[in-house]
Amino acid sequence: MTSTNIKGFGALAAAAAIVLAGCATSPEPRHTASTPYYTPTARSDERLEAQASAFESFMHKASGIDASFSGPGEVSQALQTGASHEPKQFEAGMIAYAAMAALQEPGFVAGVQRASRDRDLANRLTANPELATDLPGGDAAAARANAALFRQGEALADDGQKVKRAAYSVQHQAWSKARVPDPAGRLSRVKRLSTVSYQASAGDEARMRGAVAQGGRRGGATSPVVARGVALAALSVLGQSDRGRALMSEPRTAMCLRMAKLNLYQCLASAGPHYEDIFCLGQHAMIDPGQCVVEATKAPTHRMVATKASYRR
The predicted pLDDT at position 117 comes to 87
The predicted-structure confidence for 186-234, as pLDDT tens digits, reads as follows 999 999 999 988 888 888 999 999 999 887 889 889 999 999 999 999 9
Coil/strand/helix, residue 230 = helix
Q: Is the pLDDT of residue 247 over 80?
A: yes
User: Are the beta carbons of 149 and 296 closer than 8 angstroms?
Assistant: yes
The predicted pLDDT at position 286 comes to 97
- CA 250/CA 252 separation, integer angstroms: 6
- CA 152/CA 36 separation, integer angstroms: 18
Coil/strand/helix, residue 202 = coil
Q: Is the pLDDT of residue 65 over 60?
A: yes
Task: Report H helices in 87-194.
Answer: 87-102, 106-115, 121-127, 138-169, 183-193
Query: Which of 83, 106, 135 is closest to 215 using CA atoms?
Result: 106
The predicted pLDDT at position 290 comes to 97
Cα 262-268-272 angle, rounded to 5 deg: 160
pTM across the whole model = 0.84
Q: Is the pLDDT of residue 264 over 50?
A: yes
Number of alpha helices (DSSP H) and beta strands (DSSP E) in the chain: 14, 0
